[in-house]
Structure 1
Amino acid sequence: MSGTPESVDTERGGEQDGPTPRQQRSVLPSFLFISFVLFMITNNGGEELAQRTRYLDTLDNINQQIANYSAWLNGTAPENFTLVMQDPVVTTLVESLMTFGSQVDPQSASYYRNLTGFWRGDVRFHNLTDLKNNASVPPSPWYQLADELVASANLTNATEFASRVGSWNWTRSDKVQISLGDKLVWNESENKDVTRDIAMIHGKIDFMDSEGSEELRLEVDGVHFVSNGTIYAFAEPSGHAIDIRDIPMLVPSDRLKETARVVEAELISRTKKLKERVQAGVIEESSEDEGPKTGCLFQFFGQINQSDVPQALLQQVEDEIHEPTGISTIHAPDMKLQGVLVSKNCAMIYELPDISGMKSQTLFRKITSYAGVATIMNLLLLALHTRQVTRSRSAAGLSRVSRYPFIVQSLIDAVSFVGHVTLAILAEGRTSIAVLAPAGLACVLFIQEAQFAIIIGQIQAPEDVRPTARPPSQPAAAPPTTNPAPRAAPAPNAQPVLPTITTTPPRPSLLRYMFDHIRNDPSARMWFIISFFLLVVFRLVIALSVPLLFIGLLYSSMWLVQIYRTVRRERVSGMAGEYLVGVTACRLYYLLYFLACPKNVLDVEPRRWVYGMALCMFLQVFLILLQSHFGPTFFLPRGMVSIETYDYHPPMPLPDPEAPEQSLGDCAICMDAITVDPALRQHSDEKGEVHSLSRRTGNLLAQGARKSYSLAPCHHLFHTACLERWLAIKNICPQCRRPLPPL
């Protein structure tokens, strides 16, 4: 049958013209191998099971501790848990530094009931072991109490004391940031014995190094008395677990029992949540840091400042902040507190005289509002950039603008992108989605500005090239002869001539090849510069060491290179006034918001030099606009202006007067003759003598006629109008394709 493979082979002569095709391998072994690899990578059942077992053992231990704590609280088994009592010297010392609040009349005054939010302010450090030797500080009434505290701390072992203090420089910490979470553990059905006047607080205290970028973080666990705005808490370094069962030792003795009930309810709640996560298989590995930089253990005492607002109105304000309904409320009073951090084992005190706070919901709405304005600014920047690119799309337009303002703006947008993404990560929930909008636009701006800078660099690359061309009168070199003369016979006693061995040069190394490629290719060189600065930008943003200085240098040098190019090329800028003013205003919005607004979302302190930078940027823009009206070098003395430009209109010899056509040649673009002005043509009288114009008249006419032709560096001749139209599209010679300087 003709349809069988055998018949087909027979019809083809029974022979195969090509190689035998390879038989397709089955995909089953590859699939099984990939599945096995993925299973081995993703299968951590053994580790997860062991980790779950450890968590269950920890839960059993915690439950036992809670049982002992409850027994002590009920007075049934006090020997299983003992509460260490507070040192009375600490209490007296704290009361000499701050005043604890009391319950107020709710009709005339009130305290904030929920302290969840972010706090920041200044701190004052006191080294209790060196108070008498500090002659610059006058003695205070609490110095005697400090001496008693140092004596009771037993700090005789200097080596142990130094290791406990650690490497952190306590004297340079002058700023503090506090984030607190405040919640009531009272539940009508479960915690009937728990008071509603005590809330549990948990958070962090970050000390800032005034001369560096390091931070010291303390974990905070304590209680907040709602009725009088008082805070009692432990603040210990990260990695040092706080036993919240000891919190009742901090509070006044008359409120010890009810505080212990609240702590018991909090322990049961935390254990219940942990058990649910373990049973659900949601086990989170705690990220281990480098460890605490210090072993100093602090006790935190704070007091919320009371406001002259009735409790009902302040509660209405808090409810509206937490869950907005649109109702009209009074202006929210400022959230402020004062506090003291005491470390007995390290003999030091931090005073917190004036700490300002902001509700978490208020901060998140503030971030959302900022994100909306930042999105509008980036949209304006994108629109202005698009209009400028459209205006400068020709080769003539691209030759007028400098690439460096766009490189600087791309770096600024890279910083903006990284900063907004970081802010979106830190701000959880819907706020992070709002911040991603300006981050995405900043990324688009970075890409477009970098691409436009590369295009400008490619167009302007031939500007400084001075091609050397052979003059038309120079004879061409004679080609090598193809039939060499026969060599003479060697002399009898002559030494034999060794053949010349030609060796191929060694191939360059990879680094040498990359270096040559970056040096010779404008596009590769531009991408290398942008990538290098991007690495610097990301390092600065992550390290947070000198980002303000770097951004300040970028802003201050944004338009300087454009001014320099306009002067150097003696050609006005190709940037429109709307682009210069609009971009400067939009860029300055970010700079003024973060460096001039005292209540920005990042809590960056105002810098006075930002106003000088804004004035400098607008002066640069004003100078570029003046260059467009009065000339590129109007502000420079004549002696300083030395611009070397190629002369496209050099003097050329006039054609022979006897020639039938008085032209300099044909235009290399339109192929028409480049005729000579009739007033410049030589003529002869009846006697055959050649006459010419006077020198002055000839010079004036020659200058006007020279504008009609243009001689390129490669000695190709064009009509000036034809060459202008050609250079508006490309900046290369239409005949030899060599780069041409600006006309």
Structure 2
Amino acid sequence: MATDPRAFVAFIIILFMIFSPDPQPPVIPQRARVEDVLARERYALDVTNATVFGDLDPAHNKWLNISGFRNDTGFAWTYLDEFRTKADRLTRHALGAEYSNKFLGQAVGHSLTIYNNVSGVVHGGWARDDGTLAQQRPDFNISLYAPDGPFGNVPLTSFARNLTAREGNARIRFEEFDRSFLTETRRTLDGQAVHVARFVTAQIGIDSTDGSNESWETQVNGVHFLESGHMIMTTTSEKFSGLYGLPHVTSNPYYYQLAQRIVVRAINETITRQIDGRQRLSSPFTSNTDGTSETPFAIPHCELVLYLQQLPVGPELAEEGHQATVLHLLEDELRFPTGAAVPRPLDMRFSMVAFSPDCGFSIRSKGPPDEPVQGGNHLSGIKIEVEQQQARHHILFYIFVLSGQLWLLTRQMKEASTPSMRSRISFYTISILALGDGFTTMTFALISLFVPGLWVLLIATCFLAFLSVSFFGMRFLMDIWTIQAPERERRERERRAAAAAAAPAPISAVPPAVNTTDPAPAPAPAPAPPTTERPRTIDGGPVPIIVGSDQDEPLEDPAARTTGLPVPVTAATPTTPTSFERTYTFGALYTRFYFLLLATLFLSLNATSWPPTIRRFYFTVLAFLYLSFWIPQIVRNAVRNCRRALRWDFVIGQSLLRLSPFAYFYGYGSNVLFADVDLTDLSVLAGWLWIQCLFLASQEILGPRWFVKSRWVPPAYDYHAVLHEDEEGGNLPVGTEHTPASPVLASKSKEVQDNTKRVFDCAICMQEIEVHVHGPDSAPEGGLAGAGGLLARRAYMLTPCRHIFHAKCLEGWMKFRLQCPICREDLPPM
């Protein structure tokens, strides 16, 4: 057996990857790079420590000597006062009468009903609100920020993460750190330590909904002021030292001091980690959501300064005066569960205003006081603990969905345990179902790497989907592929024979020589040599044909069966592929299956970064194609004239279970991806799947080919043919007599009392069959016309050898043997 060269090449590549030495990084340039980064960070930190509130005042020409805050940068810092005014307006609207005291850090008698730890996710709509920024655009030379290229600087027309849309959706995921050095505390009058500020990180996703197809994500860092519930965050890069200048964006000296202390601690800790080697990023406060540092070849991006104000929760938690206490108890129970009975957690709500000093755009969240509640209610969402709890419930529900799919698949495999049943099932229908399970396996395995809190459930779901596709789905596919191999080989032989018949016969270029001379007289024939008489073969009757239990086509030629001699293999006699060759072809198909699975997965991962409209269109088309898994079965039923190939509980159950994930994402607003509810697309997907089920049902009732023309499909035998009683085209069962041969049959004919009906015996159940028979003078459409006649013909089945049986009896028989129960004649597949 020859070795596959592809496997040998793959083996050599794997050995090369294992035994090749690790490349040594350039130590000296890398160390020089780290020293430059540390020097720049120390200098910016010294500026942050040495400045006081009011040193950044663009209106009075006061600037900071750090990147992005100098006068020569040309950024739109003249908009800073208007930005502070908008932020102050949001805080006044959220806190009401308590604004003046809380915003200045003074006690008001009781805490606000706001969450202290806002780790979680919020989402909502945003609208553009440039204000005076439209007349005060940034003015700088964009070519100064052009990235390096192989042939010099790359020309730039705009920065990445720019925003030109008028409205869209925003999604913010918060992550707060409860570390002591990242938290600022102060003492109350009774000596208790109270947390007043904390370092916070957030990932922001911006999408447009006005048709501009803009979508990007960024990461910001900042400070959460716990007393008032507002946050100030900013991006940080080489051209914009946002975190170092963040304290100067605050509105009063009190919050400036809090922000300065927390920012200085965070930067000092980062510098220490860089010196110790625990922090390897050259940009520790990078704005890339994947945590990677910026490279000299990357396109510069727009910077962002963000202000968020948390809105107090509703009064339904407890009575007046106890709401904050109950909320804090609820928050502690969520973070550190003890089993205490607490009310249902309420959603977090934030109002937002943000602006970009270098790209010159400003946005705000939709909601009061700028617009009525009908237009939007700012950004709302759930805490991380509630999100994980809901995710557990949703994953458990999907585990039950996968278990139901696996149970239905095993029942169908048990039903299709015979070659006759497996030959009816479409290979591509089961392939699409297995492809969906494989996609689920890859997706959950990938998600488990980034969600450690749900690792056990995610891996369990991944294993169940892997079990379904590997141990059951692929095994079922292999069985179907093996059983249908003779059918494919027969079609291939027919195709080659048709191609050979259509090809013109070769014409000899040399004409035969013509002898013009008189032919010489033929010599007398020599006497025949003496021969010995050949031994006679004893005729023992026809050679028996042993049909295997799998009912595959015989491997030998029909001539060999009749003569008992092997057929010589020539160029014109193609050999039948062996089982090894069939397995090899399935192995190639196996490789294509997983290649298609990985290609779909990588393309889907790439599609998550596409613009919203294109991204949603891609996933909707992908869902539509996936939910078309009954189409191959409908086509195979029509081609093979098969009325029923799958169990109805398998068809209905798989349809509902496979549709449930799409119903979750398209029809459930609180899904884990926060995808918008789109009942129109969901209705299209559900309707398309329902139409396929209706087609399968109609094929069983009206016939597999009721919707196609006869010339579109190969001819097939009709087991439910109309019975005719005439001398030319009669097709009555064998042994039928026109006149009763005995008084018993005569009495039966009298009992029927209708000359258009006949009574026969089913050789399987030994019961009578009453059927309609067309006489010589009856019209072609009489007797069995219409839906009633069609259903009447479904009660019996007539074989090509003209033996009649009950439909259910013969269908049950043909599940195991494709032979007539009476004469053992081969039967065409049903």
TM-score, normalising length from structure 1?
0.65
Counterpart check, 1:246 vs 2:245: yes
Structural mapping, 1:569-584, within 5 Å: 569-584=640-655
Q: 1:92 aligns with which of 62, 65, 82?
A: 82
Contact 1:55–1:278 at 8 Å: present in 2 too?
no
Change (3 A) 1:569 1:49: same
Counterpart check, 1:183 vs 2:177: yes
Structural mapping, 1:410-429, within 5 Å: 410-427=434-451, 429=452
Q: 2:347 aligns with which of 334, 352, 358?
A: 334
Query: Cα deviation per residue 1:52-96 (whole Å; 9 max; x = unaligned)?
Result: 675467546645654564455799xxx998686995752334524
Contact 2:416–2:422 at 8 Å: present in 1 too?
yes
SS in 2 for 1:99: helix
Q: 1:171 aligns with which of 160, 165, 172?
A: 165
Change (3 A) 1:530 1:620: same
Query: Cα deviation per residue 1:467-488 (whole Å; 9 max; x = unaligned)?
Result: 999xxxxxxxxxxxxxxxxxx9
Partner of 1:125: 128
Q: 2:21 corresponds to which letter in structure 1?
A: I
Counterpart check, 1:299 vs 2:305: yes
SS in 2 for 1:171: coil
**Shift of residue 304, structure 1, vs aligned partner:** 0.9
**Shift of residue 592, structure 1, vs aligned partner:** 0.9
Q: 1:538 aligns with which of 588, 593, 601?
A: 601
**Shift of residue 549, structure 1, vs aligned partner:** 2.6
Counterpart check, 1:391 vs 2:394: no
CA distance in 2, matches of 1:216, 1:363: 23
Partner of 1:218: 218
Change (3 A) 1:169 1:225: closer
Q: 1:323 aligns with which of 328, 336, 356?
A: 336
Partner of 2:466: 443
Q: Structure 1 residues 318-327 or 418-427, which shifts more? A: 418-427
SS in 2 for 1:174: strand
**Shift of residue 524, structure 1, vs aligned partner:** 6.8
Counterpart check, 1:742 vs 2:813: no
SS in 1 for 2:312: coil
Contact 1:566–1:632 at 8 Å: present in 2 too?
no
Contact 1:174–1:209 at 8 Å: present in 2 too?
yes
Change (3 A) 1:730 1:458: farther
**Shift of residue 389, structure 1, vs aligned partner:** 0.5
Contact 2:127–2:365 at 8 Å: present in 1 too?
yes
Counterpart check, 1:604 vs 2:595: no
Partner of 2:139: 155
**Shift of residue 391, structure 1, vs aligned partner:** 0.8
Query: Cα deviation per residue 1:259-316 (whole Å; 9 max; x = unaligned)?
Result: 2222222222323333444499999994557966554332211211122452211111
Change (3 A) 1:343 1:700: closer
Structural mapping, 1:250-261, within 5 Å: 250-255=249-254, 256-261=256-261
Counterpart check, 1:343 vs 2:327: no
TM-score, normalising length from structure 2?
0.59
Partner of 1:20: none
Q: Structure 1 residues 593-602 or 86-95, which shifts more? A: 86-95
Contact 2:281–2:292 at 8 Å: present in 1 too?
no
Structural mapping, 1:70-85, within 5 Å: 70=49
CA distance in 1, matches of 2:469, 2:589: 14
CA distance in 2, matches of 1:263, 1:180: 17
Change (3 A) 1:435 1:642: closer
SS in 2 for 1:303: strand
CA distance in 1, matches of 2:16, 2:444: 41
Partner of 1:662: none
Partner of 1:27: none
Count of aligned positions: 602
Q: 1:614 corresponds to which letter in structure 2?
A: A
Q: 1:534 corresponds to which letter in structure 2?
A: L
Partner of 1:41: 21
Counterpart check, 1:263 vs 2:276: no
CA distance in 2, matches of 1:81, 1:215: 32
CA distance in 1, matches of 2:698, 2:798: 32
SS in 1 for 2:449: helix
Contact 2:86–2:353 at 8 Å: present in 1 too?
no
Contact 2:184–2:197 at 8 Å: present in 1 too?
no
SS in 2 for 1:222: strand
**Shift of residue 583, structure 1, vs aligned partner:** 1.5
Contact 1:462–1:741 at 8 Å: present in 2 too?
no
Query: Cα deviation per residue 1:495-528 (whole Å; 9 max; x = unaligned)?
Result: xxxxxxxxxx9xxxxxxxxxxx999997478547
Partner of 2:206: 207
CA distance in 1, matches of 2:450, 2:492: 57
Partner of 1:402: 426
Structural mapping, 1:277-292, within 5 Å: 277-278=277-278, 286=292, 288=294
SS in 2 for 1:579: helix
Change (3 A) 1:389 1:107: same
CA distance in 1, matches of 2:814, 2:225: 79
Change (3 A) 1:95 1:590: same
CA distance in 2, matches of 1:216, 1:452: 43
CA distance in 2, matches of 1:240, 1:283: 12
CA distance in 1, matches of 2:84, 2:467: 55
Q: 1:621 aligns with which of 693, 701, 706?
A: 693
CA distance in 1, matches of 2:711, 2:20: 74
Partner of 1:510: none
SS in 2 for 1:603: coil
SS in 2 for 1:357: strand
SS in 1 for 2:355: strand
Q: Structure 1 residues 349-358 or 450-459, which shifts more? A: 450-459
Unmatched runs of 5 consecutive residues or more in structure 2:
1-13, 55-61, 71-75, 146-155, 188-192, 285-290, 318-322, 367-377, 495-512, 518-570, 572-579, 608-614, 722-733, 739-754, 764-795
CA distance in 2, matches of 1:54, 1:570: 73
Partner of 1:473: none
CA distance in 2, matches of 1:213, 1:535: 27
Partner of 2:365: 352
Contact 2:182–2:265 at 8 Å: present in 1 too?
no
SS in 1 for 2:177: strand
Contact 2:168–2:208 at 8 Å: present in 1 too?
yes
Query: Cα deviation per residue 1:424-470 (whole Å; 9 max; x = unaligned)?
Result: 2332x13133212222222332333344234324434545848999x
CA distance in 2, matches of 1:160, 1:617: 56
Change (3 A) 1:578 1:299: same
CA distance in 1, matches of 2:169, 2:28: 45
SS in 1 for 2:390: helix
SS in 1 for 2:829: coil
Change (3 A) 1:740 1:217: same
SS in 1 for 2:205: strand
Change (3 A) 1:74 1:466: closer
Q: 1:413 corresponds to which letter in structure 2?
A: D
CA distance in 1, matches of 2:649, 2:813: 28
